[in-house]
Amino acid sequence: MHIELTALPGVKAVLRNRWWQFVLTLTTLAVFILAIVSGSVGTPVGSRNFAIVFVWILWWALLILLAVPFLGRAWCSICPIPAPGEWAQRGAILKPPVSNRARPLRRWAARWRNIWLQNAMFLLVALFSIVILTQPAVTSLVLLALLLLAIGVSLVYERRTFCRYLCPVGGFIGLYAQLSPLELRVKDTSICATHAEKLCYTGSAQGYGCPWMVFPAALKVNTNCGLCMECLRTCSLDNIAVNIRPIGDDLQRIGIGRMDEAYKAFIMLGSALVYVFVLLGPWGWLKRLAYSVGTLPWLGYALGFLLVLLVALPGLFALAVWLGNHLAKARGSLRRSFVTYAYSLIPLSLSAWIAFTLAFVFANLSYVWGVISDPLGVGWNLLGTADWGWQPYLTSLTPYLVSLVLMIGLVWSANHVAYLARQQLSPARALRQALPVIGYCLVYTLTLMGVLIL
Amino acid sequence: MVHRTCPSIRQPFVNKNLSIAGMFLFLGLLTLWVPLPAAARSPQDRFIRVEASSFAYEPGVITVQKGARVTLELHSRDVVHGLFIDGYGLETRAAPGESNRLTFIADRSGIFWIRCSVTCGALHPFMLGKLKVIEPGFALRPLALTVVLASAVLLLPLSTLAQQHKSIKRDK
């Protein structure tokens, strides 16, 4: 069942209007710049610094608990990181293009038109994340580096190449956007097939050609749709719709999938697992190890981190898939089965990230009041809230929410494994194929529960 | 990317399985949080010395019987640390070289995070421990949870497969 939001009175006009998006982007950009400044010149105490509190507590909570599960890539449409580069590339901030002849820019190399580099960028940030998310100066440096990289890439390469192929955040948002109940799709692909101009891709006086380099008629899943609404503005045939749909709809349209996206699922699954152990476990030595960047013990941690994410979890999963194939006497390559079934881990890994976030965000949310009044940590009290002390919120409720979220992720993933197996096999064989993979999901969930709530 | 089409078995099973999933989620929560019968013997009082240093407590996991009168004596080895118990809302703090006590009746069973309540360094928000307030049979909870979840992830796919099978037969 799909509900076309753009068919509702007023919604389409609002979505076509550039102002709301511009104002929101400008707001996030202002906050982003304040975070860079605060991180570099403000107090080094993380819980009193705007950069740490706004980026790693408030923004992260909004992203993982609300934006990603319910709105897909909506964050990307107001993200401050690519905005200055995009404005520079277009030579305009708000106005649509006067002509379709934009300055010719390079296309991203064909061999890198995937998310392997995004995976690498995420791993790079993740390896240092214990330092990044606790030291304001390092957070500031990372944000500035991302901003400069996005500007540089936008000046050399076409459209939103940075967002599509490099952004460490964009990779996992795209993966989880497949679960979102919000989608942008073409109403009737046959109309697009006979439309010679393809304004949604080339652009018009009404708007820019798809910044994400996607031809909307070919859009089957949410992964690469940035919900920027440019195609809604440019389509002269009123053939673009924004829909509410059943959650997880894309998972049933993936087909055989891609190895880079499959590995993204393992990277997200593994990083959630490691962070739960390191940050939320009671083991002080593990926290100190992850924090001691540059030392020999930290190299051991980094190696262990990469081994868990890139070898152990995918390796055990491959074993489970192989066992399933063997039990079900299924034909076809292990590689293909591995990639196909890896997509069923997306709900499980999102639930792990939500559980991780729930476990620390509410306990630390009250730091927001202090930094709003004193964003640089220099003794201001702009709103009179600078002296509000630490106050954990909802911590009595958190274990229940964490349990519920982890169980929903497990059940969802297990159900999808069975669905995928049944696509190819008879019921009895499908069950044999699915069981080892379901067992893998169960062990993962119980491991997380063991640290978080048991 | 190949788009595999099998529209007849796409959606219906999701809705039909929701009630089964809901039941298992409820059972899962029940195994974790349902109150257990009180102990026949009255629990003993407990005195526990807790050493805080960046960024952990020693012991990291404190286990006491439900109903026990518990005294935690907090010592700090380096900087000022706090000790806040989720669920109980109790707090104390200690500077290096001094100690403070927190005495309470452990009248709520469950597992509660212990958090540092005084900014103590970079990893302060993640300075955590656990208080386990247990009842007779408490150790069975993880086992019961495993059984419930294992049943859920076995029965739900079975239901999905059965419904997909019916759907395919109906289409034929």
Please list, in sequence order, all residues whose beta carbon lies within 8 angstroms of the beta carbon of residue B65, skipping any fewer than 6 positions away: B39, B43, B44, B46, B106, B133, B134, B135
| Alpha carbon distances (Å) from A245 to A180, A186, B22 | 8, 14, 21
Summarize pLDDT for A369-405 with one digit per residue, the tens.
999 999 888 888 999 998 888 999 988 888 888 988 9
Judged against a pLDDT cut of 80, whether residue A130 lies above it is answered with yes
* Closest A-chain CA to B55: A284
pLDDT the model gives residue B15: 53
If 0-12 CB within 10 Å is exposed, 13-18 middle and 19+ buried, where does residue A171 land?
A: buried
Summarize pLDDT for A6-55 with one digit per residue, the tens.
999 899 999 999 999 999 999 999 999 999 999 999 999 898 899 999 99
From the list B21, B57, B115, the residue facing A363 with the nearest CB is: B115
The H or E element containing residue A306 is: helix A296-307
Quote the mean pLDDT of chain A: 93
Summarize pLDDT for A196-206 with one digit per residue, the tens.
889 999 999 89
**Could you tell me if B147 lies within 8 Å of chain A, comparing CB atoms?**
no
Given 3-state DSSP classes, what are the helix, strand and coil percentages for chain B, each rounded to the nearest 5? 35, 30, 35
Summarize pLDDT for B80-106 with one digit per residue, the tens.
999 999 999 999 999 998 999 999 999
From the list A47, A410, A415, the residue facing B125 with the nearest CB is: A47
The H or E element containing residue B48 is: strand B46-53
- The mean pLDDT of A229-245, rounded to a whole number, is 95
Q: How far apart are CA A203 and CA A112, in angstroms?
A: 25
pLDDT the model gives residue A239: 95
Is A431's CB within 8 Å of B149's CB? no
**Could you tell me if B25 lies within 8 Å of chain A, comparing CB atoms?**
yes
Judged against a pLDDT cut of 50, whether residue A332 lies above it is answered with yes
- The mean pLDDT of A207-231, rounded to a whole number, is 94
- The mean pLDDT of A220-224, rounded to a whole number, is 93
> B134 in helix, strand or coil?
strand
Which residues of chain B neighbour A45 with C-beta distances below 8 Å? 119
Chain B residues 99-128 with CB within 8 Å of chain A: 110-111, 113, 115, 117, 119, 122-128
Longest dimension (CA), chain B: 79
- The mean pLDDT of A159-185, rounded to a whole number, is 96
> With a cut of 0.90, is the ipTM above it?
no
Confidence of residue B32 (pLDDT cuts 50, 70, 90): confident
Is B126's CB within 8 Å of A403's CB? no
* Closest B-chain CA to A279: B126
CA distance A151 to chain B (A): 31
What percent of chain A has pLDDT above 90?
81
